[in-house]
Structure 1
Amino acid sequence: MTNIPLLVALAALLSPLLATAHDCSQDFRAEAEKMMPNSTRIQSCRRKTLAAELAWSFDRASRGLHVAFGAQLRREDTGWLAWGVNPGGPHMDGTRAVIGIKQRNGSYGCHKYNVTAATKSRRCPLVPADDIDIGVEFSSYRMEYVPRLDYHVIVATVVLPEKEFNSLETHVVWQIGEHINGNEPLMHPKSLNNFDSTETLDLQSVKIISYTRHRRFKLRIVHGVLNIVGWGTLLPSGAIVARYMRIFPKPCVRWYDVHVSCQTTGYIIGSSGWALGLWLGKASQNYKFNIHNTAGLIIFILSTIQMLAWRLRPAPDDGYRTYWNMYHHFLGYAIMALISFNIFLGIKILEPEHVWKWAYIGVLGGLGSVALSFELLGWTKFLIEKSSSSKPT
């Protein structure tokens, strides 16, 4: 049942595994150079999660880190950009940040903030701390709009105290949100890319030491590919084999072996993807996707029940065989519908390149085309045979 277009579609899904951090666009780099302090040379300019770009330069003598962080805001009326450093690790709690805010009247404001556990949990509002010592010294911070890029850009300089910040291992956090309450940025979208917007930098050698997104993002890619190949491709292929190979173009005596092989391989691969998803859920305590997780558990349980049919199905002459066939077919179609729903939901959560969604649509389209072609052939054969049998001899 495998064909070249299907392999190409699956290869497109695997391509993000090879992806690494990319240099920023030349246009953003040019704009960032204009915004940096005089005679400051950009040392690093990279694309980040959330379709953002970050340019920076570090002065060892003054321990000043000059940054330009830019991205498009999703809403036209309001939105906010945040960039900061965290002495405790690559996470939100404890981050000292500058946040640029676009107000409803079109004006821009930029303030410094201290993101604590209380503000993260919304127990207290996240308010500007421009006149408060937050442990690091931000200066010359502002927010600008670059029309030719449709970017809003935060420009700032932060002096990192030597006691709290190690320039060989500096933790950086960034974020983009849509809603505000005055100068208070409200909760950002709850996508994986929003939660993964952290990294650890070596400011002296200009290297990314630890990039949270690289590690877990690649595991999520593996999780998605295993589920799409196992649950989303091989299981439907096995159903197509069972429905059509035993009938035409000419009966295949080995159809059951092919059917079981497709289902067993798909079950093993899909279960591996599901188990990896469980591990990722345990390793990611900051966010849960209950619908996706529950649907995955139901798929695994029902598919396990289906696999038991290999040993527990009644004999062909058993009176219960007809009812068992009805249950087996209905449950199989229900599982495939749930699988398609959950795969699309997973793609939405992961927010990868659009090629993912279209590749999986291509997989479904290919399988659907094969099934539809066989269905039309079957009805054509049936009508021809019926017409021949109705003719007088």
Structure 2
Amino acid sequence: MVGSQAIIAYPKPDGSMNVYTSPINRYATKLQEGNLSVPVYDLSASYSNVNSEITVFATFVLPSNTTTINHVWQDGPLLGTTLGIHGVSPNHLQSTGMLNLSSGQTVTAKGGKTQRSSYGIWGMLMPIGVMVARYLKAFQPKSSTWFRLHRGLQSFAFLLGIAGWATGLYLGVTSPGVQHKNHMAIGTTIFVLGLFQVFALCLRPKPDHKYRSYWNMYHHIVGYGVLGLSVANIFIGFSILHPGQIWKISYYVTLALIIVSALLLELFSQVKTYMQARKKPNQENGA
């Protein structure tokens, strides 16, 4: 994990242990030996043939008033004297926790699950809310049902977006050195644009107002922009959180169904508009 301050240990061919520190600054790391951001003393390791476990011993000098630290652990293959990449199963990707230095207790991090849940539901509600406004209104122009559904779905999606954004900020604060700048920049942009949409609803002109067409243009541009950015950021989030296949498959299938449904509804809407346009001249000529 980028930003980790790692201790590497593995047995040599002669049976002795090779143990050293390695700061991980990039994904394509070779785990080269280097100093950590904190002093480390009395570094050693032992290997047990009984259960094939390696035990690492070390003394860290942490900054004053440090009460908790994030803990990450991994194991991977040893190819001769070269360390291989660790596995990417859920057990590997969720091997994180927070160690309370006062109590000695370790709490498994759950922020990733919260963020995945927010991503999944948010990523489904937003396009559905857009479809409700575009197509339900087209089929029931005199009803206000589409507006209430659209407002409710988008408001709930916005609240979930805030939850995911806040969770990302928390994980960033509690994981110093781990930064995903593109994801953070897009997420912050979505959050700001979402706030603009909320404020714009409070300033929405009446249908017959002379500026209503400009408001509609702004609302549509920002809305579709947020939708596109949110889908892109969800894919970026997947590459960061590495969720299980069930999460990815569920989102891909749902997104595909939404796209197909939107295309069919768009086709029906255009056909209806075309038929109404043809019917109107015929009625005028008949009159």
- Flag whether TM exceeds 0.5 (same fold): yes
Distance 1:114 1:321 in 2: 68
Distance 1:315 1:250 in 2: 16
Instruction: Quote the offset at 1:295 in angstroms.
Output: 1.0
Runs of 4 or more, structure 1, over 6 Å off, are: 108-111, 186-195
Distance 2:271 2:142 in 1: 16
Q: Deviations over 1:322-346 (max 9, x none)?
A: 1221111011111101000001111
Identity %: 29
Q: Give the direction of change, closer, same or farther, for the CA distance of 1:224–1:137 in structure 2 (3 Å limit).
A: closer
Q: Give the direction of change, closer, same or farther, for the CA distance of 1:92–1:343 in structure 2 (3 Å limit).
A: same
Q: Give the direction of change, closer, same or farther, for the CA distance of 1:366–1:140 in structure 2 (3 Å limit).
A: closer
* 1:358-369 matches, cutoff 5 A: 358-369=249-260
Paired residue for 1:98, among 10, 16, 22?
Answer: 10
- Is residue 228 of structure 1 aligned with residue 120 of structure 2? yes
Residue 147 of structure 1 is matched in structure 2 by none
- Is residue 174 of structure 1 aligned with residue 74 of structure 2? yes
SS of the equivalent of 1:293 reads helix
Paired residue for 2:33, among 107, 126, 129?
Answer: 126
What amino acid sits opposite 1:235 in the alignment?
A: M
Distance 2:121 2:187 in 1: 15
Q: Give the direction of change, closer, same or farther, for the CA distance of 1:342–1:111 in structure 2 (3 Å limit).
A: farther
Paired residue for 1:292, among 161, 183, 196?
Answer: 183
TM-score (norm 2): 0.71
Distance 1:347 1:121 in 2: 21
SS of the equivalent of 1:323 reads helix
Paired residue for 1:115, among 9, 15, 20?
Answer: 20
Distance 1:235 1:160 in 2: 48
What amino acid sits opposite 2:121 in the alignment?
A: V
Instruction: Quote the offset at 1:186 in angstroms.
Output: 9.0
Distance 2:45 2:181 in 1: 38
Gaps of at least 5 residues in structure 1 are 1-90, 101-107, 128-132, 142-154, 165-170, 201-208
Count of aligned pairs between the two proteins:
252
Distance 2:161 2:132 in 1: 19
Distance 1:254 1:160 in 2: 63
Residue 65 of structure 2 is matched in structure 1 by none
Q: Give the direction of change, closer, same or farther, for the CA distance of 1:294–1:381 in structure 2 (3 Å limit).
A: same
Instruction: Quote the offset at 1:292 in angstroms.
Output: 1.0
Distance 1:157 1:236 in 2: 49
- CA RMSD, Structure 1 to Structure 2 (Å): 4.0
Residue 165 of structure 2 is matched in structure 1 by 274
What amino acid sits opposite 1:363 in the alignment?
A: T
Q: Give the direction of change, closer, same or farther, for the CA distance of 1:198–1:319 in structure 2 (3 Å limit).
A: closer
Residue 261 of structure 2 is matched in structure 1 by 370
SS of the equivalent of 1:135 reads strand
Instruction: Quote the offset at 1:319 in angstroms.
Output: 2.2
Instruction: Quote the offset at 1:243 in angstroms.
Output: 1.3
Distance 1:189 1:286 in 2: 22
Instruction: Quote the offset at 1:137 in angstroms.
Output: 3.7
CA contact (8 A) 2:187 2:233 kept: yes
The structure in which a higher percent of residues are helix is 2
Distance 1:370 1:251 in 2: 23
Distance 2:128 2:246 in 1: 22
Instruction: Quote the offset at 1:134 in angstroms.
Output: 5.1
CA contact (8 A) 2:90 2:243 kept: no
Q: Deviations over 1:260-289 (max 9, x none)?
A: 111111111221121112111111114211
What amino acid sits opposite 1:297 in the alignment?
A: T
CA contact (8 A) 2:9 2:56 kept: no
- Is residue 135 of structure 1 aligned with residue 35 of structure 2? no
Instruction: Quote the offset at 1:235 in angstroms.
Output: 2.2
Q: Deviations over 1:212-247 (max 9, x none)?
A: 6xx32x3211112113313x1222222112212222
Instruction: Quote the offset at 1:98 in angstroms.
Output: 0.7
- Is residue 327 of structure 1 aligned with residue 227 of structure 2? no
Q: Deviations over 1:34-60 (max 9, x none)?
A: xxxxxxxxxxxxxxxxxxxxxxxxxxx
SS of the equivalent of 2:131 reads helix
What amino acid sits opposite 1:284 in the alignment?
A: S
Gaps of at least 5 residues in structure 2 are 26-30, 35-41, 60-70, 99-104
Distance 1:177 1:279 in 2: 33
- Is residue 343 of structure 1 aligned with residue 234 of structure 2? yes
Residue 204 of structure 1 is matched in structure 2 by none
Distance 2:271 2:198 in 1: 33
CA contact (8 A) 1:98 1:113 kept: yes
Distance 2:248 2:114 in 1: 15
* 1:187-202 matches, cutoff 5 A: 197=95
Instruction: Quote the offset at 1:250 in angstroms.
Output: 6.3
What amino acid sits opposite 2:23 in the alignment?
A: K
Distance 2:262 2:155 in 1: 20
The structure in which a higher percent of residues are strand is 1
